[in-house]
Amino acid sequence: MADTHCRSGGTDTPDKGCLTMECPAKSAGGEEGTPVIWRQAPKSIPNPVWTDYPAITGPTCLYDPQPQNVLADIAARILNDFRQLPVNPGTLQVQPFPHTLKGGPTNFYTTATEQAFDVTILGQAIHLMATPASYTYNYGDGTTVGPTPAAGYAIPDTEWLTTETRTSHSYTQTGNYPATITTSFTGTYSVNNGPPLPINGTLNITTPAKTIHVWKTQRALVADTCEQNPHSWGCPGTND
């Protein structure tokens, strides 16, 4: 809640720092803002009274004749505004890529990061934070993993196809598979430099598909190396 009375300590004694704070109009002819102190009560208290709300920050300014109303209006629409943000989902990284081997672990991970945005909603300055919270891997062959908090990580190329990670996958058939990752972002928002408030909902973004070409290996005895005989079995450009 935003306490427009600017009281402190649970009494009616004015908080001089709040009452003397200036909130000038943002534009010529505009309305001056209202100084408020932000208070927060634990969710465990079903019907909190004023003294259950300790001050957590302030004073700060709200620019609306009825600050409580504008806060409720922002809260009612914040999830929709959050889902319209140009959040970068990061990229799906694959090791090895674009070719991998049937039966060997292929490593997948993502580069999604926390992002901040400053927007104006109902005339108020809103600061939003989008934080990647969980991931769903779709390997393109009907197999998925997640939602999981594991973003995965890169491994040295000497460990490709031999090291299994929490997000790796082994393809059982050769073919071409469109792999994607869906990142679920949670969010917070603050109004006019007020405290961060949770957004009740998530923003889910799926990356463009990456085609994984799954091959198989064959072994054969040959008389010559490819340097000795470029047309030998298994050498580049030969099908025999």
Least confident of 57-61, 82-86, 192-196: 57-61
Triad 155, 116, 134: Cα angle to 5°: 45
For residues 104 and 195, membership in a common domain is answered with yes
pLDDT of residue 56: 62
Q: Is 146 left (phi over 0), alpha (psi -120 to 50) or beta?
A: left
Question: What confidence tens digit (pLDDT) does each residue in 174-206 have?
Answer: 999 999 999 999 999 999 888 899 999 999 999
Q: Is 116 within the bounds of a domain?
A: yes
Counting every residue written for the chain, the total comes to 240
Q: Is the alpha carbon torsion for 219, 220, 221, 223 positive or negative?
A: negative
CA distances (Å), 230 to each of 218, 219, 224, 226, 238, in order? 18, 17, 9, 5, 8
> Please, which pLDDT band fits residue 41 given cuts at 50, 70 and 90?
confident
Contact 173, 141 (CB under 8 A): yes
Q: Residue 136 forms beta bridges with which residues?
A: 182
Q: Is 103 within the bounds of a domain?
A: yes
Tally of domains in the chain: 2
pLDDT of residue 195: 86
How many beta carbons lie within 10 A of that of residue 168, not counting itself? 22
pLDDT of residue 164: 93
**pLDDT exceeds 50 at position 170:** yes
CA distances (Å), 176 to each of 2, 22, 100, 168, 172, in order? 56, 64, 10, 17, 12
> Please, which pLDDT band fits residue 19 given cuts at 50, 70 and 90?
low
**pLDDT exceeds 50 at position 10:** no
pLDDT of residue 8: 47
> Please, which pLDDT band fits residue 240 given cuts at 50, 70 and 90?
very low
> Please, which pLDDT band fits residue 228 given cuts at 50, 70 and 90?
confident
Measured between alpha carbons, how far is 164 from 95 in angstroms, rounded to an integer?
A: 11
For residues 176 and 130, membership in a common domain is answered with yes
For residues 142 and 192, membership in a common domain is answered with yes
**Model pTM?**
0.68
For residues 56 and 162, membership in a common domain is answered with no
For residues 45 and 130, membership in a common domain is answered with no
Query: Among candidates 129, 145, 139, 144, which has minimal Cα distance to 185?
Result: 129
Question: What confidence tens digit (pLDDT) does each residue in 89-146 have?
Answer: 999 999 999 999 999 999 999 999 999 999 998 888 999 999 999 999 999 999 999 9
Q: Which domain holds residue 206?
A: 92-215
* Residue 58, both tokens: 């302030």
Q: Can you tell me the mean pLDDT for 201-214?
A: 96
Measured between alpha carbons, how far is 185 from 137 in angstroms, rounded to an integer?
A: 15
**pLDDT exceeds 70 at position 24:** yes
- Diameter of the chain by CA atoms? 97
Q: Can you tell me the mean pLDDT for 73-97?
A: 94
Q: Is 178 within the bounds of a domain?
A: yes
